[in-house]
Amino acid sequence: MHPIHPDTARYASEAQRWQAVQARDVRADAHFVYAVQTTGVYCRPSAATRLPRRENVRFFDSAQQAEAAGFRASRRAQGDQTLAAAARADVVAAACAAMDAADTASTLDALAAQAGLSAFHFHRLFKAETGLTPKAYALAARARRLRDQLAAPQASVTDAIYGAGFQSSSRFYETAGQRLGMAARSFRDGGAGTEIHFALGQCSLGAILVAQSARGICAILLGDDPEALLQDLQDRFPKAQLIGADAAFEQQIAQVVGLIEAPSLGLQLPLDVRGTAFQERVWQALREIPPGSTVSYAELAARIGAPKAVRAVGSACGANPLAVAIPCHRVLRSDGNLSGYRWGLERKRALLLREAQAEPVAPDQNN
């Protein structure tokens, strides 16, 4: 799936920007601010303030530019709560960057001190903005560094463990299976020594491949060519032991095919979800979208507390290896039109039509 880029052209001209201010368009907040010459303040386009006269308005690409021109932020307007939201997002982004770059795990107290907040308020703010606790984010960041270390040529498991920030090998091995889905040596060797059961079949949307590791379903792939789907799985785990469908696997693949035919029913199987911390936030948010409902990429970014990360959200949707189980087909462009879909627009259209015609079903949070 190709990421959807922010529609910067929509706010390129002053006429378009003034129209956005009149409409109090929240989407425009990421693109510009407007200043009022008679009051000396600037606001976000969505600010719920009394509209100024057009001849008194100046536009700036950022708050920094407005302040450099001598304007100050409006602090009375309700709509300028978005400025506080931006400040909160900046605090959390700085903390995430610090955890991403840290050689050793930072304590909650240290992160809070860097943000100028108490540990309690920092923890609450971080979780509200990201959907993760600081500890969970740090663990995911460490796991990402570990995967990068293990993927390096001639990688040593021991060097990778310490290079990723683990203080001892014992602390690493306590969570290795959870974070990598297999032993570290097997991950480094492309899944060597790991068994992955898979099955190829046909459904109403074409060819389907379902694969399962010891932790759960790790791939649901759709396409026109079964051989291409198998090659995709082999590329993911080039040295894993791929085992064709056996009797014990038949019932599970039947459940997955049933999900394809009736997405609103949900999937009652454990999933083996492996991604970066950001990807896992996006994928969890996708699983919370009720069948029959859709959101835009911008709305999805806002739901995970990262309203400016529209492009990254699109990339995370495109990296989703679990078709329908993680329902990235429920994400549309801001104008309501279909956007790119990893398994083809016609399949996306068919899935949305099936959900729209089905009886409403509450989302399964264990899905």
Active site residue 328: yes
Residue 317, classed as helix, strand or coil, is helix
Fill in the amino acid letter for 15: A
Which of the residues 96, 218, 317, 328 is marked catalytic? 328
User: Do the strands 33-36 and 57-60 form a parallel or antiparallel pair, or are they unpaired?
Assistant: antiparallel
Tell me how crowded residue 77 is: count the other CB atoms within 10 A of its CB: 17
Which of the residues 43, 96, 218, 317 is marked catalytic? 43
How far apart, in whole angstroms, are the C-alpha atoms of residue 251 and residue 7?
45
Q: What is the CA radius of gyration of the chain?
A: 24
Which helix H or strand E contains 100, and what residues bound it? helix 81-101
How far apart, in whole angstroms, are the C-alpha atoms of residue 283 and residue 317?
7
How far apart, in whole angstroms, are the C-alpha atoms of residue 180 and residue 144?
9
Residue 136 half-sphere exposure, CB side, CA atoms within 13 Å?
A: 11
Active site residue 43: yes
Residues with a catalytic annotation lie at: 43, 328
